Copies of this chain bind each other. A is one copy, B any other.
């Protein structure tokens, strides 16, 4: 079958054809702006992913990349306890890029949106030398207050839901030219934030919340700083998975707990709760203290391993 190269507008038409809609979308793609409807206050967050920084084309397929940009952006809404409503995407690609890559990436965007129940309302497409995608997401709170980073109180417990350190383990193996264990490679390619759990946490009375994008210690550090509290993690509650142990052993005996504590990009949710209010499915991993405001300890001592995830292009 002959493949004709599409013009910019045809490509956008191909991407937006048959987009699902929702009562929240008053006007979808095709005009100067989209028009949407929220209930009460709205949350907004923007996230860019760049080829060579957040993904590599030889490590991730276009469908993975499309899913990833949506997942990473929506995780920021989850972390406020917001309900995802709509998003817009700016896509910058080299003119010589195979259009099949663009269309498959757009399919990844749409598939991840469908999983979440968020509706793509519009976008922008431009040329660039490297592939870059920016997702801006909007959500609402249905009358609840947003859960910020600033509300943790001494006596609260710290609880987490979602994968930790899987993407970092995946990056470690990909960086050494391997493609297995498959679970960690897939985790690096596409994060799976615990969609819906941000609202569950908010309704359960979470006092603070963040998604783990930079690493558990780094992101809990943001909560500790914003809340003016200390946090003490119990390493016995941090479960290292078999694939993580395999990776740590294979690449030189590193402590697999490093992936859990310092690995980012999985977009787990970590929150603080009054101890009686931890929702089902969340794992208590530590406590909030009045000692050492702004600091995060592991088993009551400073962590001496790596802290904070570095993207692979450093």
Nearest CB to that of A311 among chain B residues? B127
User: A81-100 vs B: 1/0 string, CB under 8 Å?
Assistant: 01000101110100000000
**Cross-chain contact B129 with A35 (CB below 8 angstroms):** no
Residue in B35, B48, B138 whose beta carbon sits within 8 Å of that of A41 in the complex: B35
The listed residue with most B CB atoms (<10 A of its CB), out of A47, A89, A124, is A124
**Cross-chain contact B130 with A53 (CB below 8 angstroms):** no
**Which residues of A34-84 are within 8 A (CB) of B?**
34-38, 40-50, 52-54, 75-77, 79-80, 82
Query: A300 near B: Cβ within 8 Å?
Result: no
**Cross-chain contact B44 with A127 (CB below 8 angstroms):** no
**Cross-chain contact A33 with B130 (CB below 8 angstroms):** no
How far is A210 from B32 in the complex, measured between Cα atoms in Å? 7
How far is A130 from B47 in the complex, measured between Cα atoms in Å? 17
A163 to B: closest C-beta gap in Å: 18
How far is A45 from B53 in the complex, measured between Cα atoms in Å? 25
**Which residues of A127-144 are within 8 A (CB) of B?**
127-130, 132, 134, 136-139, 141
The listed residue with most B CB atoms (<10 A of its CB), out of A31, A33, A86, A134, is A33
Nearest CB to that of A269 among chain B residues? B32
Query: A265 near B: Cβ within 8 Å?
Result: no
Count of residues in A whose CB is under 8 Å from the partner chain: 62
Residue in B33, B76, B313 whose beta carbon sits within 8 Å of that of A80 in the complex: B33
Query: A108 near B: Cβ within 8 Å?
Result: no
**Cross-chain contact B47 with A43 (CB below 8 angstroms):** no
**Cross-chain contact B53 with A32 (CB below 8 angstroms):** no
A77 touching B33 in the complex, CB below 8 Å, given contacts A44-B86, A44-B121, A136-B136: yes
A37 to B: closest C-beta gap in Å: 5
How far is A150 from B92 in the complex, measured between Cα atoms in Å? 28
How far is A146 from B54 in the complex, measured between Cα atoms in Å? 37
A50 touching B138 in the complex, CB below 8 Å, given contacts A34-B44, A148-B31: no
Query: A27 near B: Cβ within 8 Å?
Result: yes
How far is A213 from B111 in the complex, measured between Cα atoms in Å? 31
**Cross-chain contact B80 with A46 (CB below 8 angstroms):** no
Q: Which residues of A pack against B, CB within 8 Å? A: 26-27, 30-38, 40-50, 52-54, 75-77, 79-80, 82, 86, 88-90, 92, 121-124, 126-130, 132, 134, 136-139, 141, 146, 148-150, 209-211, 226, 311, 313
Q: Which 8 A-B pairs have the closest CB atoms?
A: A136-B136, A32-B79, A33-B43, A33-B45, A134-B134, A48-B90, A46-B88, A32-B76
